[in-house]
Chains A and B, each alone.
Chain A
Amino acid sequence: MRILIFLIAFLPSLAWAQMVTRDGVTLTQQQETRAEAIGDQLRCLVCQNESIEGSSATLAKQLRIIIRQQVVTGASSKDIKAYMVQRYGIFVLLKPPFMPLTWALYASPFIAVLLGFLAYWVARRTPAPPAPPLSDADRARLNELLE
């Protein structure tokens, strides 16, 4: 029993063990997961085809720190993304938002399908009309040839 109480007294240390430090910011595993999810959706502006989470650029590291600091203070993922968009524009979002500038982008699959139907309609072949029935003369000639 005494051992059990002793062990229970150490339970809070388990929570401590869940703390992680990334880029100099210490946060819980849960917060780190959320920070990573945000970073995965943001473009590194130096390398442009990497996410902030996956880039080794100095700017990406600084932005990772800012994301984590804001996550620790309890900012929502939406707020953190808005913070980045305010500074770097919508280009920072790897998935562009649906807005007038991106309408054509989001409509493109549907436009492609429509064009496909159009191409099908243009290229489709009408079946040839059935041949007119043989006349008596034709039949007579045919019989002659076959005999």
Chain B
Amino acid sequence: MSPLRRRLLFGIPLAVVVGGGTGFYTILRRMQENDYDPHALPSPLIGKRPPAFTLPGTAGMQGFSNTDLLAPPRPMLVNWFASWCVPCLQEAPMLAQLAKSGLTIWGIDFEDNAAGALQNFLAQNGNPYTRLASDASGLTAINWGVYGVPETYFIDKTGIVRWRYAGALTDEVVASTLNPLLKQYA
């Protein structure tokens, strides 16, 4: 056996193990730092405007349609939530904080059909929304590609969706992704 082949025979499996190990370690570390979620899906809506919809207001607030999202004066968020959703409860303080900092957030209440549930939710957690629509059937959610609540969409000044986050917004997500986006599209 030539020395080259001897070296390859030893080196190739070693390279595979080192490469694979580094890859898996990186994935696990990034998952721990909430930097990477293997279950997160890229939204096909990114780079596009939201699909046509018109949703009625709820809890005494004004609803909205896709045409209201065509040219917001500043970048804004559309937040899908429901009073029955536990992560939405965890997310509420973060949304309140963002609304307080001057970010416009419009809400869409998803399949929330128990009487008074939404009012209770808003009374207990505050209302960060400037407008609040209701998607009682969940059909608009399907057109948006929403697959669970909460989901948050970042819409720039030209009405184009730039980012979708599925799950409760946390300090880390806001610091690592939302704040840079707000700067980029300000």
Q: B-contacting residues of A (Cβ < 8 Å)?
A: 45-46, 48, 58-59, 62-63, 66, 85-89, 91, 118-119, 122-123, 125-126
Main secondary structure, interface of B, reads loop
B41 touches A91 (CB 8 A): yes
Q: A-contacting residues of B (Cβ < 8 Å)?
A: 1, 5, 8-9, 12, 39, 41-44, 111, 138-139, 142-145, 147-148
B147 touches A59 (CB 8 A): yes
**Of the residues B1, B39, B44, B111, contact of A87 by C-beta under 8 Å:** B44
Closest chain B residue to A85, Cβ basis: B44
> 24 A–B contact pairs at CB < 8 A?
A45-B147, A45-B148, A46-B147, A58-B138, A59-B138, A59-B142, A59-B148, A63-B142, A85-B44, A86-B44, A88-B41, A88-B44, A88-B147, A89-B41, A89-B42, A89-B43, A89-B44, A89-B145, A91-B42, A118-B12, A119-B12, A122-B12, A123-B5, A126-B1
Residues of B within 8 A of A86 (CB): 44
A88 touches B8 (CB 8 A): no
A119, B39: Cα distance in complex, Å: 35
Residues of A within 8 A of B43 (CB): 89
A62 touches B147 (CB 8 A): no
A48-B39, A122-B9, A123-B9 are known contacts. Are A88 and B145 too (CB-CB below 8 A)? yes
B145 touches A87 (CB 8 A): yes
B41 touches A45 (CB 8 A): yes
- What is the CB-to-nearest-CB distance from B143 to chain A, in angstroms, rounded to a whole number? 6
Main secondary structure, interface of A, reads helix
- What is the CB-to-nearest-CB distance from A53 to chain B, in angstroms, rounded to a whole number? 17
- What is the CB-to-nearest-CB distance from B84 to chain A, in angstroms, rounded to a whole number? 11
- What is the CB-to-nearest-CB distance from A99 to chain B, in angstroms, rounded to a whole number? 14
A63, B146: Cα distance in complex, Å: 12
A16, B39: Cα distance in complex, Å: 44
- What is the CB-to-nearest-CB distance from B185 to chain A, in angstroms, rounded to a whole number? 23
Closest chain A residue to B45, Cβ basis: A87
A89, B9: Cα distance in complex, Å: 42
A39, B42: Cα distance in complex, Å: 21
- What is the CB-to-nearest-CB distance from B81 to chain A, in angstroms, rounded to a whole number? 16
Q: A59-B148, A62-B142, A85-B44 are in contact. List 10 more A-B contacts (CB 8 A).
A: A58-B138, A59-B147, A87-B144, A87-B145, A88-B41, A88-B44, A88-B147, A89-B43, A123-B5, A126-B1
